[in-house]
Amino acid sequence: MQKNVMTVLEIEATEANLKDFKLKGITKSGIDSFSDNGSSQKIYYYAILPNYQKNFEFTYFDLRAINLLKFRFQ
């Protein structure tokens, strides 16, 4: 029997479209809750990972830095 680990990310963004947030390569994941306060949004995003997967990463665009940044979870 394979065991899984659930990871939850709290993500806040300004002038963004978090409804379209999705992590590639993770088959079981999604937005658990979504709130919108005009120019800012917040989501709780869950990802169910196999127990042997110890990390994942994704890239996002940071408007303040005007650059793509990498987020790494270990």
Expressed in percent and rounded to 5, the helix, strand and coil fractions of the chain are 5, 60, 35
Q: What is the pLDDT of residues 8-65, one digit of tens each?
A: 999 999 888 999 999 888 889 999 999 999 889 999 999 998 888 877 788 988 888 8
Domain limits for position 65 = 4-73
Closest Cα partner for 10 from 56, 49, 46?
A: 46
- Count of domains for the chain: 1
Q: Tell me the pTM.
A: 0.80
Q: Residue 41: its pLDDT value, please? A: 96
